[in-house]
Amino acid sequence: MSRIQVEEGVELFVQDWGSGTPIVFIHGWPLSHRMFEYQYIQLPREGIRCIGIDLRGYGRSSKPWSEYDFDMFADDLKRILDELDVDDVTLAGFSMGGGVVTRYMSRHNEEHVAKLALLGAASPVLAKKPDFPEGVDEAAFMDLAEGCYEDRAKISSDFADSMFHSAPSPELKDWLQNMSMESSPQAMADSIEAVGEMDLRSDLADISVPTLICHGVHDQACPFDLTAEKLHNGIENTELVSFEESSHALFYEEKEKLNQELTEFSK
């Protein structure tokens, strides 16, 4: 475990477990690297090195008052991978983290990355656009951002509820909600606004590495047809794996299947 400086006064927390083939995990909104606990405790047994990063504003990373957008997250990720001096990684992004890694691959020319894994990814676009009328109403993202300043605990609780196809235990929901409340309220609000404004469709053509897309068919946060299918059609070399018993929380609801897919894909 370490903290790496990405700019003056800003350090990101990095957890590094195991040895072997490296997978770098980028968490989703509004969580932290700890959401991948059920990957960290299994994958190192399969000869996989698990590197988890808390994005700026989240978890144990610095929480500066600044702009939070996909370019900034991608640039922070580049500095971390440079500092770790790790190559041929499988870069895995969940939800908002899926958008971060999509942007990284285009903005930083796939540096350090041999394979890409998109897990319940909020990518390439979610909100309605003139040429994307099937998208989610952008007001939904603005309402979430406003809620972060009015009753962030309720926003966190409601989002945790919405992540599951089958009701989680109260303790598991509390774990996710508490993880969410560790984040900066400004980071939470600005990040979800950035998700609403996001349009990464032009980035997909820049992705050339083998790409694994894992997505819950019951996903409400990132609907399957708006995200997984668009990624599958837009990226040249992809494998799309449907998770039939999962909503957004495939990292828990079908953790054994996800772990197997990541193990086979990364190796």
**pLDDT (tens digit, 9 = 90+) per residue, 56-92?**
999 999 999 988 999 999 999 999 999 999 999 999 9
d(CA 14, CA 11): 10
The token pair at 234 is 């837009």
What are the residue boundaries of the structural domains of the chain, listed by start?
Answer: 2-266
Q: Which of 76, 190, 203, 219 is catalytic?
A: 219
The token pair at 66 is 């600044």
Question: DSSP states of 47-109 as a string?
Answer: TEEEEEEPPTTSTTS---SS---HHHHHHHHHHHHHHHT--SEEEEEETHHHHHHHHHHHHTT
Mean pLDDT value of segment 146-152: 95
Burial class (CB in 10 A: 0-12, 13-18, 19+), 131: exposed
Bridge partners of 113, per DSSP, are 89
Kindly tell me if the per-residue pLDDT of 106 is higher than 80: yes
Q: State how far the alpha carbon of 38 is from the alpha carbons of 83, 90, 257, in Å.
A: 26, 17, 11
The token pair at 158 is 């409601």
For residue 188, the surrounding DSSP H or E stretch is helix 185-197
Q: pLDDT tens across 7-16, in order? A: 999 999 999 9
Kindly tell me if the per-residue pLDDT of 1 is higher than 80: no
Q: pLDDT tens across 25-56, in order? A: 999 999 999 999 999 999 999 999 999 999 99
Task: Please tell me whether residue 120 adopts helix, strand or coil conformation.
Answer: coil
d(CA 235, CA 146): 34
* CATH superfamily placement of domain 2-266: Alpha/Beta hydrolase fold, catalytic domain (3.40.50.1820)
Q: What pLDDT, on the 0 to 100 scale, is given for residue 194?
A: 97
The token pair at 178 is 């508490």
- Active-site residue, 219 included: yes
Provide the whole-model pTM: 0.97
How much of the chain, in percent, has pLDDT values that exceed 70? 100
Q: What pLDDT, on the 0 to 100 scale, is given for residue 245?
A: 98
Place of tokens 């235990």: 169
d(CA 85, CA 76): 14
- Active-site residue, 158 included: no
Q: What pLDDT, on the 0 to 100 scale, is given for residue 267?
A: 87
Mean pLDDT value of segment 208-221: 98
Q: What pLDDT, on the 0 to 100 scale, is given for residue 37?
A: 97
Would you mind telling me the total number of residues written for the chain in this entry? 267
Q: Which of 62, 95, 123, 191 is catalytic?
A: 95
Q: pLDDT tens across 136-145, in order? A: 999 999 999 9
Give the up-direction half-sphere exposure of residue 166: CA atoms within 13 A in the CB hemisphere: 8
Q: What pLDDT, on the 0 to 100 scale, is given for residue 155?
A: 95
- Active-site residue, 162 included: no
